Every structure is written in C-alpha cells, then in structure tokens.
C-alpha cells in the first residue's frame, strides 16, 4: 500500500493565516495533537498542540508560530513501511504527503496508518501466531513454508527480526497462520529442529509449556 492510499481526507491542513485558536479547535475536533501547515500547496511543517498551548494570544496567526518537521514528509509513491518508519523515527502523529512536484497532497495520521498496517499483517484474521527463534544461517522461508503447508496450514503474514550483533540465536520469525489448532505445525517444526519461542492460539498447543502459553495468551488479550 502506498502513501497516496493512506491519506486521511477528514484531516484538515492549516494555513499561515489561521489563528492559534482555530488550530486548537480543529485539533480538539479531530482528537489529534498535530496538523500539517501549508501555504497554498507548499508544505511548511507541522504545528503542535503542545506548543500552541503555550501561546498567550489565541488570535495570533500561525505564520508567527514555531513549526516543526519542515523537512519530514513522504512522497505519494512511498510504501506503507517507509511511512511507518518515518512516523516512529520522528514520533509524529501526522505526516504530510507530497507529489513529485513537491505539492501537498494530504496528511496521513499515525492511528489510521497503524490500522492499515494491522490489516496488511492479517492481525484481524482468525488464526494462531507462532514465533520461531532461529539462527540467521538456518533461515529459509521457503523451507519453513513447506513444512507448515504440509499440515494444510497457510501463512497469512510473516515478520523477520534480525539478531542483535553477536547473538545469532536471537533472530525471530513471527508467523500469522490461518488455523487456530497449530499443534501439528509445532510438532513438524520441532521435528525438523526449529525452536518454538512462543505460540498464541485459542486451543492448547501440547508441545509448548502450558503455563507459559497461558501467560502469553493473557498478554495478547490485554
């Protein structure tokens, strides 16, 4: 999914001629702490509720107020993961989307982006989550997929987390599967030498310590 598809049409953009009071009203209305500021079609940065609250005169124009993240934006053709990375890196609530001509196209909100990301990962789909602890040199998605699919189970989505430097046994592969009963999958993977670090499912997984599984399920449901 590209940035252009993630634009929230309900989020307004502020203008330099808007007042501090108007900006605060819009932020309260949309329950958000930041909004993009544009001059005509030119992106000028982000205005923050936290900074606006310190302005003594609500009639003061935004052109006279400090702006943030003037050089932080995404182009409409950038991927969801690139957008998410910039939001997290800069701790932003919103991020501006520009076209190739650097014209402002709209705003992406962090909350809506996370919802889309969850949908892309299949988080809302019924099924178990399996976490494997593997050495990087042993990582083969093709082999793991073959073993899982041999039990008539499909991988909905996957996420690989690289090992920290000097800790090759700490790499993790997180898998979202399309079945709740993954006991046969766990058995197959363990038989081929894969280490199951955690499993989240609505039915017991016999080869995982039940007490640990219960703790993980409670964590998932919080």
Using one digit for the tens of pLDDT, what is the confidence trace for 162-192? 765 555 557 888 898 988 888 899 999 999 9
Nearest to 93 by CA among 36, 25, 12: 36
State mean pLDDT over 148-164.
85
Please write the tens of the pLDDT for every residue from 136-147. Answer: 777 889 999 999
Which of the residue ranges 69-73, 135-139, 199-203, 211-215 has the most confident prediction, judged by mean pLDDT?
Answer: 69-73
- pLDDT computed for residue 148 by the predictor: 94
Enumerate domains of the chain plus CATH numbers. Answer: 3-119 (3.10.580.10), 129-220 (3.30.70.260)
* pTM for this entry: 0.67
DSSP 8-state class, residue 163: P
DSSP 19-69: BHHHHHHHHHHHT-SEEEEEETTEEEEEEEHHHHTT-S-TTSBGGGS--B-
pLDDT of residue 222 exceeding 50, the answer is no
């Amino acid at each position: 999914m590209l940035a252009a598809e993630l634009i929230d049409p309900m989020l307004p953009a502020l203008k330099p001629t808007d007042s501090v009071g108007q900006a605060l009203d819009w932020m309260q209305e949309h329950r958000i702490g930041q909004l993009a500021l544009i001059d005509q079609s030119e992106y000028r940065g982000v205005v923050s509720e936290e900074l606006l609250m310190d302005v003594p005169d609500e009639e003061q124009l935004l052109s006279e107020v400090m702006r943030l993240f003037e050089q932080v934006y995404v182009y409409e053709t950038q991927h969801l993961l690139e957008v998410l990375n910039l939001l997290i890196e800069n701790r932003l609530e919103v991020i501006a989307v520009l076209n190739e001509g650097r014209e402002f196209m709209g705003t992406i909100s962090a909350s809506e982006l996370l919802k889309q990301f969850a949908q892309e990962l299949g988080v809302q789909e019924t099924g178990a989550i399996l976490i494997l602890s593997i050495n990087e040199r042993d990582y083969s998605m093709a082999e793991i997929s073959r073993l899982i699919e041999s039990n008539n189970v499909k991988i909905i989505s996957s996420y690989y987390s690289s090992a920290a430097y000097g800790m090759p046994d700490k790499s993790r592969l997180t898998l979202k599967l399309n079945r709740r009963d993954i006991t046969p999958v766990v058995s197959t993977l363990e038989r081929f030498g894969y280490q199951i670090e955690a499993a989240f499912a609505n039915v017991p997984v016999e080869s995982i310590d039940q007490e640990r599984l219960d703790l993980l399920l409670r964590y998932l449901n919080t």
